[in-house]
Amino acid sequence: MTTTPDTLEKLRVALEEFAHEHDWNQFHNPKNLAIALSVEASELLEHFQWLTPTQAANLSPETQDAVALECADVLLFLIRLADKLNIDLATTATRKMELNAQKYPVEKARGLSTKYDRL
């Protein structure tokens, strides 16, 4: 991938092309992609394991770079999974934010970490 995609759709297309070039579509089914996504999320968590909140907010440049790459892995597998399931992530994320705004009205949830069904 020589250019930097700047939208989810461009990333989706670039990922499809990459998978096609590498003959990886045979492995990219929803089950495998969901597992890969979980593995990458776990690799992201590994960088924060045993850190205090202060340490986690002040990562070394090397760790920050490693975390950034793990975030990218999570994003890429999520985009690939959504593509295989015909999910428009931008539209669905917007819808989810609207649903969360209903579940967590500011007047009830501001400053709280309480789950919506306990507000």
What sign has the CA pseudo-torsion 20, 26, 27, 30?
positive
CA distance 9 to 97: 20
* Token code pair at residue 110: 């501001």
Report whether pLDDT(101) > 50: yes
pLDDT, tens digit, for every residue of 19-77? Answer: 999 999 999 999 999 999 999 999 999 999 999 999 999 999 999 999 999 999 999 99
Whether the pLDDT of residue 3 is over 60: the answer is: no
CATH 1.10.287.1080 correct for 8-87: yes
First and final CA of the chain: distance in angstroms?
47
Distance CA 119, CA 42 (A): 30
Residue type, 119: L
pTM recorded for the entire structure: 0.89
The 3-state DSSP class for residue 33 equals helix
**DSSP code string of 68-93:** HHHHHHHHHHHHHHHHHTT--HHHHH
Band of residue 6 on the pLDDT scale cut at 50, 70, 90: confident
List the domain boundaries for the chain: 8-87, 89-119
Find the length of the chain. 119
Q: List phi, psi (to 5°) of 50.
A: 75, 0
